[in-house]
Chain A
Amino acid sequence: MEKTWNNKAWFMVLPVLVLVAFSAVIPLMTVVNYSVQDTFGNNEFFWAGTDWFTDVLESDRFWDALTRNLIFSAIILAIEIPLGILIALNMPKKGLGVPFCLVFMSLPLLIPWNVVGTIWQVFGRVDIGLLGYTLAALGIPYNYVNNVFDAWITLIVMDIWHWTSLVVLLCYAGLVSIPDAYYQAASIDGASRWAVFRYIQLPKMKRVLLIAFLLRFMDSFMIYTEPFVVTGGGPGNATTFLSIDLVKTAIGQFDLGPAAALSIIYFLIILLLSWIFYTVMTNSDAEN
C-alpha cells in the first residue's frame, strides 16, 4: 500500500511513545547507570567503568548459563519445528474437526506460565504424578529433582507441550492460504506427496516458519517462569538459564553491578535478534 508522507502522524504515536518510554527507557537507564558504577551502600556510588562487563564476560557462570540456554533453545527448536509442520500437514482443512483442533491445540498457549510449571511439576512427581508414577511403575528410574538428565528431559517435554501449538497454528495458517488449484495442478502432473510438500507447501509456509522460528527462539532464550517453578534452576545449576541467573544475581544476591552489566549484554543479544526478525518481516512484507 502506498503511504503518504505526513509528519503530523507523530501526534498519533505520541501516547505510545510516552508510555513505552516510561516503562522501557527509564528502567533501562537505571540499568546502564548501575552497570558502570560500584556502591558500598548509603547511596554512594563510584565510577567503575567497564569493570562489571569484563567481570561478567570473564566469568564461567555467564558463559555456562548462556551455553545452557543456547543448547536448550536448539533442542526445542529442532523438535518443535518439524513436529509442528507434521501436525499442521495432517490437520483437517474443513468440517467440524477444524474448530475442535484449533481450540484444543491453543489451550496450552493460554495457561499462565507458572501454572504450566505447576502442571508439569505435579505430573512428573514419582509419588502423585501420572507421568512419574507410570515411569516408576515401569521400572524406569526418573527423578527430575536430583537427576540432571531427567530435569532437562522434563523441561524439554514441558516446552514442547507448551509451545509446539504455536508452530502448528502458524504453519496451518500458511497452509490454508494455498488455493486448491495448486493441488489439482500437482495431481494432474502426477506429483508425489514429497514433491507437493517440497514445491508447494514448504514455499508457502516459508514466511510463517520464519516467524515461528524467531518467536520460539526469542521466547526460549528468555524463559524464566516455567523452569523456575519446576526445577528452580537445579539440580545444582544444571537448568539455570540466563534469565534465572540474572534474577538470582539481581534480586537474590542484590549484586547490582554485575546484574546490570549482564542485563545490558543480554539486551544487546536480544536487540540483534529483534533486528533480524524485523528485517525478515519487512522484506517478506515487501515481497507480498
Chain B
Amino acid sequence: MTTATQTSGRNLSWIVPTLYILFLLLPIYWLVNMSFKTNTEITGTFSLYPHEPTLRNYAVIFTDPSWYKGYINSIIYVVLNTVISVSVALPAAYAFSRYRFLGDKHLFFWLLTNRMAPPAVFALPFFQLYSAFGLIDTHIAVALAHCLFNVPLAVWILEGFMSGVPKEIDETAYIDGYSFPRFFLRIYIPLIASGIGVAAFFCFMFSWVELLIARTLTTTDAKPIAAIMTRTVSASGMDWGVLAAAGVLTIIPGAIVIYFVRNYIAKGFALGRV
C-alpha cells in the first residue's frame, strides 16, 4: 500500500478519512453541546459551546421515572431478545455450517427474507397477534417480535464464523470420545466465542435501534425510550435540552462496546459474509 500511495503525492491520504470523521462528529457534537445547555441558551443565543454548562437536562431524566423507565424498558426487552436469539441460533447455525439436510438451502434463504422484511409490513399484524395473546405492552412481546429479524441475523453471522472452524476439530473430538453436547459446550463454544460475542452485539444493536415495532406493541409499561422521546417532540413547550440529553444517553451503549467489536463491525453488518 505504501508504494501505491507514495506515487500519488506525499501521503496526504489521511485528509479524506479525517474530513469524513469530522463530518460524522459534527451533528453528534451539536447534540452533546445542546444537552449541556439551558433551554434559554438553546433558543435565545447561538453558541458553539455551552456558556453556562448545566447538568439539569440529565438530572431531569435520571429523576423522572417516566423518562428513566424508558431506558430500563428498552434494556429489558433488548437483553431478552439477545438471549433468545443467540441461544436458538447457535444449534441452527451449527446445523447449517456442518450438515446438508432436506430443504436446508430453502430454509437458509427463508431466514434471510425475514431479515430483509420491512418492519412496516409487520407492525399491524404483530399488534393483532400479540393482542390475541394478551401480550401487548409487555417486554416479552417486543423481544419476541424483534426475533423476526434478529434470529435470522444471528444464524447468518454465526454460520459465517462456524464455517471458519475446520471440521477436523469436530471429528477429533468424537474420536476422543466426546458426546455431542459435551463437545459443543466444552470445545466448540469457546472456539467461536468471538462469533457469539459479535452475534450478541448485533442482536443487541438492531433491537436497540428499532422503533416502529417496539412503539406499536407498547403503550405505557414497556414503552421504549425511543418512543418516549418522540412523544416529547410532539408535545407543546419543546424541552430541547432534555430531548438532546435523552438522545445522547441512547448513543452511549453503542459507544461503550464499539471498541471491542471494531474488527468485526463489517462482518456483522454483512451477515457474517466478509
Contact = CB atoms under 8 A, between A and B. Distances in A.
Interface of A: 1-10, 12-13, 15-17, 19-20, 22-24, 26-28, 30-31, 86-87, 89-93, 97, 99, 101-115, 118-123, 127-131, 133, 161, 164-166, 168-170, 172-174, 180, 183-184, 186-187, 192-193, 196, 208, 211-212, 215, 218, 221-222, 224-225, 229, 242-244, 246-247, 250-251, 256, 259, 263, 266-267, 270-271, 273-275, 277-278, 281-282, 285
Given A13-B107, A122-B240, A243-B120, A1 B163 contact: yes
A13 B205 CA distance: 24
B243 interface: yes
A256 B84 CA distance: 31
B3 A187 contact: yes
A121 B247 CA distance: 12
Interface in B1-39: 1, 3-4, 7-8, 13-17, 20-21, 23-28, 30-31, 34
Given A169-B266, A274-B109, 9 more contacts: A7-B101, A20-B111, A97-B14, A108-B24, A110-B205, A130-B27, A130-B30, A271-B113, A277-B112
Nearest to A22: B144
Given A3-B98, A20-B151, A91-B17, A184 B113 contact: no
Contacts of A133: 46
A281 to B, nearest CB: 6
B24 A165 contact: yes
Interface of B: 1, 3-4, 7-8, 13-17, 20-21, 23-28, 30-31, 34, 42-43, 46, 48, 84, 88-89, 91-92, 94-102, 104-105, 107-109, 111-114, 116-126, 128-129, 144-145, 147-148, 151-152, 155, 163, 166-167, 205, 208-212, 216, 226, 229-230, 233, 240, 243-244, 247, 250-251, 254-255, 258-259, 262-263, 265-267, 269-271, 273-274
Contact of A115 (B24, B144, B226): B226
Contacts, number: 300
A86 to B, nearest CB: 6
A112 B112 contact: no
Contacts of A274: 109, 112-113, 116
Nearest to B111: A20
A118 B116 contact: no
B175 to A, nearest CB: 15
Contacts of A251: 123-124, 216
Nearest to B118: A222
A140 B148 CA distance: 45
A262 to B, nearest CB: 9
Given A101-B21, A166-B269, A9 B99 contact: yes
- The majority secondary structure among interface residues of chain A is helix
A162 to B, nearest CB: 9
A90 B128 contact: no
Contact of B259 (A99, A101, A111): A99
B114 A24 contact: yes
B211 A113 contact: yes
Contacts of A122: 30-31, 34, 240, 243-244
A266 to B, nearest CB: 6
A183 B101 contact: no
Contacts of A9: 95, 98-99, 101, 104
A273 B125 contact: no
Nearest to B144: A23
A87 B114 CA distance: 31
10 contacts: A16-B88, A19-B88, A90-B17, A105-B21, A108-B28, A119-B31, A122-B34, A215-B269, A271-B113, A278-B108
